[in-house]
Every structure is written in structure tokens, then in C-alpha cells.
Amino acid sequence: MPLIDSIVVDKFTQIVTWDIKESKEDLITNLNLSSYRIEKLKKLTDKRQKEFLGIRACLKSLNLDVDVLYEPSGKPYLSTDHHVSISHSHGLVSVGVSKFKIGIDIEKNRPHKINTIKGKFIRDDEDFFWGFENESDYLHVIWGIKEGLYKLHLGNLISFTQNYKVDAFDIQSKKSIKSWVTNEYLSEKYFSYHKRINDYFLIYVLDYEA
């Protein structure tokens, strides 16, 4: 079964990534879904069925036999003391669980697209990477960090250029990247991380103050 990546950040946090290559029938058999979950699956579109099964596969690999529930804002949560974040991209699904609040993003490497939309999420004070040979890699990481911050604050702060800021970083380094959520009332620091998985970028943001 295609569990292609697993990150144990610390004793509180783990992230797994699944490549949904199996047929729906094989996934259902291997996951040994309950009749309740099979009935839930039948109500979804074909695309959502594969995503649902990918999430179930990730949760099984994390030894969590719980349902994913959703707040009115769309933010997922579990009926446990774990926080959860979920991301999909072109056949991959990533699920992160933690005792801390967590936001994750998985994105396929698409240099043309990310360069086309960079004006929608890059601030004037985030120009430290301009002129680098791997500029699009930096753009993917910054986009992913801001997606992670958005998921942490879903339904509240949403402007990628006004409310979220990423400090300068070296993309070759494995050190945490400082990122910020700001408005006229607050300035909160978060710790962000990135990893290349084949032709994808996995980003995760943790709120250690939660």
C-alpha cells in the first residue's frame, strides 16, 4: 500500500502522506471499512470517494480509528484530544495530527502556475528570494506556509498579503521558518517546516503556544 512518507516531528506530532494509486475496491477491502463508513462513502462523488479513502488510509497508518468531523467553517477535527489538518494535491493526500494546533499543505510542483499567482500572496517585504535560481521553490514553500496559517485561523484572518508574513529563510536548511499572523490587534509567531516529497512540497505549521 502506497504510504510514501511519514514524518514524526516529535512525540506529539506526526504527518503521513498517501499516494492514492489503488482502486476504490482495493482500498475499501484493505481498510476493512464498517458498513456505516461504506454508506457514507456512497453519498460522495467519485473524486471525493478517493479522497475519503485516502484520508482513512492515512488515519489507519496513524493508528487512529476515528471519524473526521467538520466545523461550520469547514475546518476538520477529531473526537479525540488530537488536532488534525488535511491536504490533497493531484493524487496525494497528507494528514497531520498533533497535540498542538497544526496546519498542513501538500502542493504539486507547478512553476508556471505558482509564478502566475505570486502577486496574490507575496508581500513587498518577502522579496528575499528574488533572483534565486530556484525562485519557484521558494514560492511554493511560502504559499504552503500561508495555506497552513490560513487553516489554523480558518474563518477569521484570510488575507495572504495583509495577515500572513514569512521571514527570510534558506530553502536548503531544515531549520524551522518563522511565520507570523498579524492584524491591527495582534502579532503571533508560528514555526513552519517544509519537505520535498518527489515532485511535491509538503509544508506544516505548528502552534506551540496552543
With a cut of 70, say whether residue 37 has pLDDT above it: yes
pTM exceeds cut of 0.95: no
Question: Distance between CA atoms of 189 and 54, rounded to whole angstroms?
Answer: 32
With a cut of 70, say whether residue 125 has pLDDT above it: yes
With a cut of 80, say whether residue 49 has pLDDT above it: yes
With a cut of 60, say whether residue 210 has pLDDT above it: no
Question: Is the CB of residue 53 less than 8 Å from the CB of residue 27?
Answer: yes
Domains of the chain with CATH codes: 3-99 (3.90.470.20), 104-207 (3.90.470.20)
Question: Distance between CA atoms of 24 and 28, rounded to whole angstroms?
Answer: 6
With a cut of 60, say whether residue 202 has pLDDT above it: yes
